[in-house]
């Protein structure tokens, strides 16, 4: 129930953002500082979400070791993405590395 309200709230926020300017038809001028700040939102939000998941996947402190498949696969993903700039290739190689590494450690 709580999660349904969470989703409906997200929908309300997003519809308001997307449709207000068209809907009201009025001109809203964005201050340049806000425009500049918005440009940094995706890169910071995404990084802030994944860094704890990669560096300490079990929530028990830093796991900077080759036995951490999240870390190993992420280093591979960063290198592949920096070299090729191909999103789907990066995701595919990262997943193969992650699952392969996990499987390999079970042996």
Partner 1 sequence: MALPLPSKGKRMSHPPTRLSSFAAGARDTIPMLIGAAPFGMIFGTLVTAGPLAPWQGQLMSLGVFAGSSQFIAVGLVAGSAGMLVIWFTTFIVNLRHMLYAAALLPHVAHLPARWRWTLGFLMTDETFAVMNGYYSRQQDSPYGHWYFLGSGLSMYVNWQTWTLVGLVFGAIFPQLQSLGLDYAMVATFIAIVVPQLNRLPHFGAAVAAGTFAWMLQDLPYKLGLTIAVVIGVSTGVALSRWRAGVRTDGRSAA
Residue ranges that bind partner 1, judged by CB under 8 A: 2-11, 13-15, 17-23, 25, 27-28, 30, 33, 35-57, 69-70, 73-74, 77-78, 81-82, 85, 87-88, 90-91, 94-95, 98-99, 102
46 contacts 87 by C-beta, under 8 angstroms: no
Q: Which is nearer to partner 1, 35 or 65 (CB)?
A: 35
> SS3 of 75, please?
helix
Q: Which is nearer to partner 1, 47 or 104 (CB)?
A: 47
Q: Which is nearer to partner 1, 5 or 107 (CB)?
A: 5
For the residues of 7-74, what is the DSSP string, one character each? HHHHHHHHHHHHHHHHHH----PPPHHHHHHHTTHHHHHHHHHHHHHHH-TTSSS---STT-HHHHHH
Shortest distance in whole angstroms from residue 107 CB to partner 1: 15
Q: Which is nearer to partner 1, 66 or 70 (CB)?
A: 70
Shortest distance in whole angstroms from residue 106 CB to partner 1: 11
- The rounded Cα 102 to chain-centroid distance in angstroms is 22
Tokens 């989703």 locate to: 7
């Amino acid at each position: 129930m709580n999660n349904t309200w969470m989703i409906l709230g997200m929908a309300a926020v997003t519809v308001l953002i997307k449709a207000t300017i068209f809907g009201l038809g009025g001109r809203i001028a964005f201050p340049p500082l806000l425009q500049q700040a918005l440009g940094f939102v995706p890169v910071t939000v995404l990084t802030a979400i994944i860094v704890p998941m990669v560096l300490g996947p079990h929530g028990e402190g830093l796991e900077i070791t080759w036995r951490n498949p999240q870390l190993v696969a992420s280093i591979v993903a960063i290198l592949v993405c920096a070299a090729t700039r191909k999103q789907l290739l990066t995701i595919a190689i990262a997943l193969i590395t992650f699952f392969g590494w996990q499987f390999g450690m079970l042996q």
